[in-house]
Structure 1
């Protein structure tokens, strides 16, 4: 089971792993906390509904058997939304996620690292809620989806993205390689991952900055495969079977 904060996070961080597991015969389930209605986009009318549809298209391309939205509001980068996921009651949200874990009898849950990769309040909350939900459901394995920080910076420079937006936040974002426990080879599924990213059309434009999704989609396929051909996780410990 893959637990994410907003539509497009699944494709960016775990899309290749999802496609690989589905191709290998595993049942893959996507749970999304919010509809991402506060994400920057040129399409502002009913953005949450549009992004929900995009997530379903992405999930289909990645081979997901089930998609669930927990229905929380997108907190935004500032975390100011009073009813946003970042301010949700952690035990209540974890209980809802645990119900899905129970229903699916999931043997693996992916979340984010404690700082949410780059600090988005909803991503930090995914870590909190996911960790507790795994305990409640007795899910034995929890992998924190992340990115190799050094590789990320090199890739952005290689793609010449640095000319278009400030790389400063990325210098402390995500995870040093020494802390990463699992590197999943998803090069065979780079095409699936690229198609899933492209399904999130609202996230390719909007705001006054180059969007991550559009920057990645601008890469030639061989370079995209090189940059996005590995997905990274941290497994801090396995829970004991009850």
Structure 2
């Protein structure tokens, strides 16, 4: 008689509300559907997210509150067991880092060990088996995403020192695939003037580096619901399309095909590792 699979705990660490929907939603929904515990940790309040202010209000506390509600709706669609909001202020994507708000510090200004200790506490409390973060580039280079990588790496190190052998996976996208998709989209869609296509030649990870290719097509409905939950991030100033909004409008059959897989890189795995489940290879 087959033994039931061990119940695992997946802690997914993201920079802003909505990041979970794009990179890891299918994996989260799949893990939850298989009976594993999924914990979503979000570093910042998202108060500086680009949004259509005529619809969702100005940036700041009001937008942070809206994005908090959207996060709860997204997590509900994915079967998340617990949400942890670390509460750091959004560092924003402006070239110059803004001063800290009265309510707290920008995430990138929080000392590394201080930020890592808060995440370590979650890992230890949850007895996490796997922690997902980002690659050292932060995917596409956002300062808060880079900080998630740094904080996640340090938190895992602290957890291991305290007896918890957590595995770290970097949520990513094959760079070559992403660039091909952008080039195809450019044939039918006019990107805004500030869009820098060349930056994606250095973004995320090369396909040959990726260790986990997780099939998530069965959970496309949940991923789409998570993306649509973040309505404030569907359009930017003056109603200009944003990536999340465009992707959430893809017709369902094509959506299922485009988002049939999610990708991760285990920096500790030997070259050539090929796995299909975030818990593969655990003791």
Give me the TM-score of the superposition, normalised by structure 1: 0.93
Aligned counterpart, 1:152: 178
Unaligned runs of 5+ in 2: 1-10, 270-281
Distance in structure 2 (CA, Å) of the matches to 1:105 and 1:148 = 30
How much has 1:146 moved relative to structure 2? 0.7
1:219 aligns with 2:232: no
The equivalent of 1:71 in structure 2 is: 87
Mapped partners of 1:153, 1:61: distance in 2? 29
Give the aligned partner of residue 4 of structure 1.
14
Which has a greater percent of helix? 1
- Select 1:44's aligned residue among 34, 57, 71: 57
The answer for unaligned runs of 5 or more in structure 1 is: none
Q: CA deviation at 1:159?
A: 4.3
- Partner SS, residue 69 of structure 1: strand
Q: What secondary structure is seen at the aligned counterpart in 2 of 1:163?
A: coil
Tell me the residue number matched to 2:123. 101
- 2:148 aligns to what? 126
Residue 231 of structure 1 deviates from its aligned partner by 0.7
Once residues 246 and 227 of structure 2 are traced to their aligned partners in structure 1, the CA distance between those partners, rounded to angstroms, is 11
The answer on 1:190 being equivalent to 2:220 is yes
> For residues 182-238 of structure 1, what are the alpha-carbon distances to aligned partners after superposition, in whole Å with 9 as ceiling and x for unaligned?
111101111110010000000011226420111101211121112111111110117
In the superposition, the TM-score normalised over structure 2's length comes to 0.80
Q: C-alpha displacement at 1:174, in angstroms?
A: 1.1
Secondary structure of the 2:133 match is strand
Aligned to 2:5: none
Q: Is 1:80 the counterpart of 2:97 in the alignment?
A: yes
- Which protein has the larger Cα radius of gyration, Structure 1 or Structure 2? 2
Matched residues in 1 for 2:249 and 2:30: separation? Answer: 23
Distance verdict in 2 for CA 1:180–1:110, change over 3 Å:
same
Work out which of the residue numbers 243, 262, 269 in structure 2 matches 1:231.
Answer: 262
Question: How many residue pairs end up in the alignment?
Answer: 239
What is aligned with 1:173?
203
Q: More displaced, 216-225 or 100-109?
A: 216-225
Note the C-alpha offset of 1:155: 2.5
Q: 1:152 & 1:51 partners in 2: Cα distance? A: 27
Counterparts of 2:125 and 2:227, CA distance in 1:
28
